[in-house]
Amino acid sequence: MNAHLVLRIGPWSLRLRPRTVVVSSLLVAAALALAVVNLSTGDFPVPFPDVLRSLFGSASDGTAYVVRELRLPRVAVAMLVGAALGISGAIFQSLTRNPLGSPDFIGLTVGAATGALVVMLLLGGSGLSVAAGALIGCLITFGVIYLLAFRRGAQPVRLVLMGIGVSTMLAAFDTLLIVRAKLEEAMEAQRWLIGSVNTSTMVEVALIGGALLVLLPPLVRYGRELEMLSLGDEAAIAHGIRAERSRLVLAVISVTLAAVATAVAGPIAFVALAAPQLASRLTRAPGANIGAAAAMGAFLLTASDWIGRRVLPLDLPVGVVTAALGGLYLTWLLAGEWRRGRQLL
């Protein structure tokens, strides 16, 4: 169905498809339900009513401390990082017109990891300095990939191919840094590389939440351009869009979201790759489906955190779970494209 609703907010307008709204709402509701479960379960079980009382400030001091101070930051970071990765992946896949064109697949999260490792292993930094290193590393990596792919414009296939090449070189450099590091430093770096929300605090919540709030207005502003660019540069130019400028702005938004998400939780794999495609299959709507991808990303990461904590016999970092599930998804995606006779690159 092509039916849609138009929501006008000042000078901006949003097209909302009923099925997309329903799917996104259900995914958000499922993510919130899992979040309440994660707040309730653990070494100190908290009944659901007490969880709600803690969130609204009417529970006992001990219960409120467990829920708000120990568990809420982890749950909030999982949802917000998942949403950021879903948006980032949706933008890049739309720009590259390739389901493999996600930040983790084309090397941006590897670049963030390199920046973090340089801070940890060469500069002796920790905490926020590691997050800053990850952010800078991701942005520099994108700049290099963009320049290498630029030839009369940054062509989508060249972006993906250059990204894969740069990612491979950075991964080798990361391995060299870890091998040459002291044992304790190497172990700490390896733990960070897995990707985890276990030690999240409200500082991380503020970082990723602030990034989403700041980048939401330009994302809404350039949403129409993203839809046109997904159809090709010729169609975008025919509609009066400056294709290269719009592509660069949207790519910077995507890269910044991926960089902040990686800085907050480490290089969590495959959420940015899988969330947009799964959301698109559920909504059956053309285009980037930014809102649905964000909701799917939040659900996937919250569910993966729950699986790692409560379903599996060991308390595993969320990055281990997403890597395992993402590997299965990538195999399914490649097999499906092969059966259809389509090439991804």
CB-based contact 207:249 (threshold 8 Å)? no
Is the pLDDT higher at 73 or at 311?
A: 73
Phi-psi region of 5 (alpha: psi -120 to 50; beta: other; left: phi over 0): beta
Is the pLDDT higher at 185 or at 8?
A: 185
d(CA 113, CA 124): 15
Per cent of the chain over pLDDT 70 is 87
User: Residue 189: CB partners within 8 Å, gap ≥ 6?
Assistant: 117, 120, 121, 177, 178, 181
Angle, CA 263 vertex, CA 262 and CA 267 arms, to 5°: 30
CB-based contact 178:186 (threshold 8 Å)? yes
d(CA 284, CA 279): 8
Place of tokens 């993966």: 304
CB-based contact 126:133 (threshold 8 Å)? no
Dihedral sign, Cα of residue 191, residue 193, residue 194, residue 200 = positive
Q: What is the pLDDT of residue 36?
A: 92
Judge whether residue 302 has pLDDT over 90: yes
Q: What is the pLDDT of residue 226?
A: 79
Q: What is the pLDDT of residue 341?
A: 61
d(CA 99, CA 96): 8
d(CA 205, CA 256): 16
Q: What is the mean pLDDT of the chain?
A: 83
H helix or E strand, kind and range, residue 9: strand 5-9
CB-based contact 170:114 (threshold 8 Å)? yes
Indicate the CATH number of 5-340 among 3.40.50.10130, 3.20.20.140, 1.10.3470.10, 3.40.710.10.
Answer: 1.10.3470.10
d(CA 71, CA 297): 20
Judge whether residue 214 has pLDDT over 90: yes
What band does 181 get if pLDDT is binned at 50, 70 and 90?
confident
Q: What is the pLDDT of residue 4?
A: 57
Per residue in 186-212, pLDDT (tens digit) is 888 888 888 888 888 899 999 999 999
SS3 98: coil
d(CA 77, CA 184): 27
**Which of 210-214, 225-229, 266-270, 314-318 shows the lowest per-residue confidence on average (mean pLDDT)?**
225-229
d(CA 119, CA 109): 15
Token code pair at residue 157: 């296939």
d(CA 159, CA 265): 25
Is the pLDDT higher at 260 or at 157?
A: 260
Judge whether residue 246 has pLDDT over 60: yes
What band does 1 get if pLDDT is binned at 50, 70 and 90?
very low
> For residue 6, which phi and psi values (nearest 5 degrees)?
-115, 120
